[in-house]
Amino acid sequence: MHERFVFDYAVVRIVPRVDRGEFLNAGVIVFSPTAGFLDCLIELDHARLLALAPSIDIAVVESYLEAIPKICAGGGEAGSIGDLPQRARFHWLVAPRSTVIQTSAVHSGVHEDPRAALEGLFEKLVRME
């Protein structure tokens, strides 16, 4: 029998107008402390975002999204947050915000491979194919 790992995940959302509450899923963050795993997959669908918010500055949104994988990886590229332990970085990433980049509530799961769980959630919750 394969070892199974508990993990937490949140969906990364683009909320162009916080007052309207409309959003576009753009990524997934998965954290499994028992597997020592914290990673994300991010993909911004420009056409869908522009349909939701025609005047949004996509370059600015992408620059904000670029920080998420750096924070997951930790280290100097993530600034002072990169020096925090994985658990603290995950909680910082999923903390409630009233900004253009937000995350869903945190959900839990169990899987033999956290990377495969991340990829499966990404396909299900972000990609439209």
3 phi, psi to nearest 5 deg: -70, 140
Would you state the structure tokens that stand for residue 96, as one six-digit string? 């409630």
pLDDT computed for residue 21 by the predictor: 87
Of the candidates 66, 73, 57, the residue with the CA atom closest to the CA atom of residue 16: 57
Buried b (16+ CB within 10 A) or exposed e, 17-32: eeeeeebbbbbbbbbb
Q: What is the residue range of 44's domain?
A: 5-125
What total number of domains does the chain contain?
Answer: 1
Cβ atoms of 121 and 40 closer than 8 Å? no
- For each of the chain's 129 residues, which pLDDT tens digit applies? 689 999 999 999 999 988 888 999 999 999 999 999 999 999 999 999 999 999 999 999 999 999 999 999 999 999 999 999 999 999 999 999 889 999 999 999 999 999 999 999 999 999 976
Q: Which of 30, 38, 34 is nearest to 12 (CA)?
A: 30
Contact 5, 110 (CB under 8 A): yes
Please give the pLDDT value at position 98.
85
